[in-house]
Amino acid sequence: MFKRILVANRGECAIRIIRSCRELGIGTVAIYSEADAHALHVKKADRAVMIGPDPVKSYLNIHRIVNIALEAGCDAVHPGYGFLSENADFAREVGKAGLTYIGPSPDAIEDMGSKIKARAAMIAAGVPVIPGSEFALANVQEAKTMANDMGYPVMLKAAAGGGGRGIRRCDDDEQLRENYEITQREAMAAFGSDELFMEKCIVEPHHIEFQILADTHGNCVHLFERDCSIQRRNQKLIEIAPSQFLTPELREEMGAIAVKAAKAVGYANAGTVEFLVDKDHNFWFMEMNTRLQVEHPITETITGVDLVAEQIRVAAGLPLPFAQKDLSFNGFAIEFRINAEDPKNNFLPTPGTLTRYFSPGGPGVRVDGCVYPGYTIPPHYDSMCAKLTIWGATWPAAVSRALRALNEYDIRGVRTTLPYYRQIAASEDFARGEFHTGFIDEHPELLDYKPYEAREDIAAAVAVAIAAHAGL
Residue choice 128, 163, 352, 378 for contact with ligand ADP (CB under 6 A): 163
List contacts with Mg ion (CB under 5 A).
274
Distances (CA, A) of 292 to 17, 38, 104, 257, 449: 10, 25, 11, 19, 34
**DSSP category for residue 60:** G
Is the separation of the CB atoms in 230 and 237 below 8 Å? yes
Alpha carbon distance 381, 383 (integer Å): 6
Helices (H) and strands (E) in the chain, counts: 16, 20
Cα–Cα distance, 186 to 194 (Å, whole number): 8
Q: By C-beta, is 274 or 295 nearer to Mg ion?
A: 274
Q: Are 134 and 115 in contact (CB under 8 A)?
A: no
CB of 363 to ligand ADP, least distance (A): 26
- 161 part of the interface to ligand ADP, by CB under 6 A: yes
**By rule CB under 6 A, what count of residues binds ligand ADP?**
29
Per-residue contact string for residues 123-142; x = within reach of ligand ADP by CB under 6 A: -------x------------
| List 9, 179, 311, 437, residue binding ligand ADP (CB under 6 A) | 437
H/E element holding 148?
A: helix 140-150
Determine if 191 is a binding residue for ligand ADP (CB under 6 A): yes
Is residue 245 within the footprint of ligand ADP (CB under 6 A)?
no
* Catalytic residue ranges: 291
Distance CA 77, CA 22 (A): 15
- Name the nearest CA neighbour of 332 among 412, 242, 266: 242
Tell me which of Mg ion, ligand ADP, none is bound by residue 167, counting a contact when its beta carbon lies within the kind-specific cut-off of 5 to 8 angstroms: ligand ADP
Least distance (Å) from ligand ADP to the CB of residue 317? Answer: 26
Residue selected from 27, 61, 78, 82 as contacting ligand ADP according to rule CB under 6 A: 82
Question: Does 267 participate in binding ligand ADP (rule CB under 6 A)?
Answer: no
Query: How is 221-277 classified by DSSP, letter by letter?
Result: EEEEEEEEEEEETTEEEEEEES-SS--HHHHHHHHHHHHHHHHHTT--EEEEEEEEE
CB 229 within 8 A of CB 437: yes
Is 211 an interacting residue with respect to ligand ADP (CB under 6 A)? no
User: What does 254 bind: ligand ADP, Mg ion, none (CB cut-off 5 to 8 Å by kind)?
Assistant: none
389 is a contact residue toward ligand ADP (CB under 6 A): no
The option from ligand ADP, Mg ion, none interacting with 205 (CB < 5 to 8 A, set by class) reads ligand ADP
Residue-wise DSSP of 32-45: EEGGGTT-HHHHHS
CB of 71 to Mg ion, least distance (A): 35
Strands (E), 105-219: 154-158, 167-170, 196-200, 206-214
- At its nearest, how many Å lie between Mg ion and the CB of residue 233? 12
The span from the CA of 471 to the CA of 291, in Å, is: 61
284 to 323, contacts with ligand ADP by CB under 6 A? 286-287, 289, 293-295
Rounded to 10°, the helix 106-113/115-124 angle is 100
Assess 205 for contact with ligand ADP (CB under 6 A).
yes
Question: Which residue's beta carbon is nearest to the bound Mg ion?
Answer: 274
Residue in the shown chain whose Cβ atom is closest to ligand ADP: 162
Of residues 26 and 40, the one with the C-beta less far from ligand ADP: 40
In terms of Cα–Cα distance, which of 66, 70, 81, 17 is closest to 45? 17
Comparing CB distances to Mg ion, the nearer of 86 and 274 is 274
By CB under 6 A, name the one of 175, 193, 216, 234 that touches ligand ADP.
234
Please select the residue that binds ligand ADP; options are 21, 155, 386, 403, rule is CB under 6 A.
Answer: 155
Q: Which residues bind ligand ADP (CB under 6 A)?
A: 81-82, 130, 155, 161-164, 167, 191, 199, 201-202, 205, 207, 231, 234-236, 274, 276, 286-287, 289, 293-295, 382, 437
